[in-house]
Amino acid sequence: MDGRSTARAVAALIALSASTFLYVTTEMLPIGLLTLISDDLSASPSAVGMLVTGYGLMVVLATIPLTQLTRRVPRRLLMSGLLAVFVLAGLLSAAATDYTVLLCARIATALSQALFWAVVVPTATSMFPPRVHGRVISVVFAGSSLAAVLGVPAGIWLGQQAGWRSSFLALSAVGLLTLIVVASLVPAIRPAQGAAARGATPDARQYWLLMAMTTLATTGTFTAFTYVTPFLTEVGGFTAAAIGPLLLIRGIAGIAGVAIGGELADRTPRAALVVPVAVQAACLLGLYAAGDTPVAAAGLIALSGLAFSALTTALSTRVLQIAPRSVDLAAAGASTTVNIGITAGAFIGGILLGTSGIRSTLLVGGLLSLAALILVIRNPARPPAPEPASAPLPEPVTQARV
């Protein structure tokens, strides 16, 4: 394949990664701008908080139905349409004069994100050969990891300096540029034409076991991490001013985890699942046992972020391999499973916090992670089928090397 095709595919991949950056930043931004939005729109803090929790619930409920509804829409048109909704909803958010308008804008963004997460990985991998899918996915997810490290802090800073509306305007402006690149470079193919349209080794049993493991591991992570701030201050002995730097270090470690997970997924698929879950379980149980030692707490918090990011990358790669039918629907199921785990973890952690104390969130999170580890060890993954040596690609599809 020529260098021009490779360059187009890589540029499209970077644009898709930028899209994940935008969506994650937008989802989490109201947390940091809560007081500013509340005061400006005369809404209660709990109502503004619903802009985040309601957003997540909408993603959980809408992902699979929207994926099924749009399963025949060409990739370029679908991704461009989703980004167009993102841009318009961001402009509507910035122009909102009351809470109801802002809530409607957030619902529109959440609906587009629900479908976006189901199709972004199949879209990105359809442009590249299967042997590098893990690394392709790591590039896609690097955008979401950078959102936590750069996007949300930058959006909060801009909102504090120029008003909360300026943050949404800036995201819409970047979204428009990303939309132009995606509309120009993503192949105009239907899902059935892509190289990642169906699993390489379809296996319904392995897929549902993978979803069960994902639910346990994600619930374990967020049972602990949702309440990590009071844990670090009450148990770890850190000051409130130290929390930001600690979470920044965890975010940077998460970026490294995305890269490591992608490399492992391409080279040793089984280890790509086992190692992150084992490390996560060890970190959470280690925090329960030694979280009152500041150095140990800081290191384990960072390492747990690396492990979870590596796991999510490996998860998406594995879905491409074993999707029993449509990869889009399988990816939608994985996205829904992760969001269910996030919601369940926050709920379980909240109950534990009020009944058993903050340390119990780490213990239960670690035990759930151990259960996920047992599940993945007892059900070894079959290796992906080898790539055909000379099978020609469909004419509209451009695949590139990474």
| Second CATH level (architecture) for the domain 204-378 | Up-down Bundle (1.20)
Residue 239, Cβ density class (10 Å: 0-12 exposed, 13-18 middle, ≥19 buried): exposed
- Backbone torsions φ then ψ of 330, nearest 5 degrees: -65, -40
176 Cβ partners below 8 Å, 6+ apart? 87
Q: Answer whether 140's CB lies under 8 Å from 16's CB.
A: yes
Name which of 29, 20, 52 is nearest 343 in CA terms: 52
What angle in degrees, to the nearest 10, is found between the helix axes of 45-69 and 3-32? 150
Each residue of 242-267: pLDDT tens digit?
887 888 888 899 889 988 988 888 88
pLDDT score at 336 = 87
Task: Please state, in angstroms and rounded to a whole number, the distance separating the CA atoms of residues 353 and 147.
Answer: 28
For residue 326, CA distances in Å to 16, 198, 333 come to 21, 5, 11
- What does the pLDDT average to over 372-397? 58
- What does the pLDDT average to over 159-165? 90
- What does the pLDDT average to over 150-178? 92
Whole-number average pLDDT of the chain: 85
395 Cβ partners below 8 Å, 6+ apart? none
Residue bearing tokens 């492992």: 264
**pLDDT reading at 15 higher than 80:** yes
For residue 123, CA distances in Å to 42, 66, 139, 241, 289 come to 41, 16, 13, 41, 43
- Backbone torsions φ then ψ of 326, nearest 5 degrees: -70, 130
Residue 295, Cβ density class (10 Å: 0-12 exposed, 13-18 middle, ≥19 buried): exposed
Residue bearing tokens 């770890």: 236
Domain 3-193 shares a fold with domain 204-378 = yes
Of the listed ranges 141-155, 180-194, 270-284, the least confidently predicted one is 180-194
Structure tokens at 328: 């889009």
Task: Please state, in angstroms and rounded to a whole number, the distance separating the CA atoms of residues 187 and 193.
Answer: 10
Q: Answer whether 90's CB lies under 8 Å from 169's CB.
A: yes
Task: Please state, in angstroms and rounded to a whole number, the distance separating the CA atoms of residues 332 and 216.
Answer: 18
pLDDT score at 199 = 67
Q: Answer whether 140's CB lies under 8 Å from 12's CB.
A: no
Where are the domains positioned within the chain?
3-193, 204-378
- 330-361 exposure pattern, b = at least 16 Cβ within 10 A, e = fewer: bbbbbbbbbbbbbbbbbebbeebbeeeebbbb
CATH class name, domain 3-193? mainly alpha
Q: Answer whether 113's CB lies under 8 Å from 90's CB.
A: no
- Backbone torsions φ then ψ of 318, nearest 5 degrees: -65, -35
**pLDDT reading at 49 higher than 90:** no
pLDDT score at 398 = 40
- What does the pLDDT average to over 342-369? 90
For residue 62, CA distances in Å to 67, 333, 334 come to 8, 11, 13
Each residue of 289-309: pLDDT tens digit?
999 999 999 999 999 999 999
**pLDDT reading at 388 higher than 70:** no
Backbone Cα Rg of the chain: 21
Q: Answer whether 82's CB lies under 8 Å from 89's CB.
A: no
Q: Where are the alpha helices (DSSP H) in 268-383?
A: 269-290, 294-322, 327-355, 359-378
pLDDT score at 198 = 62
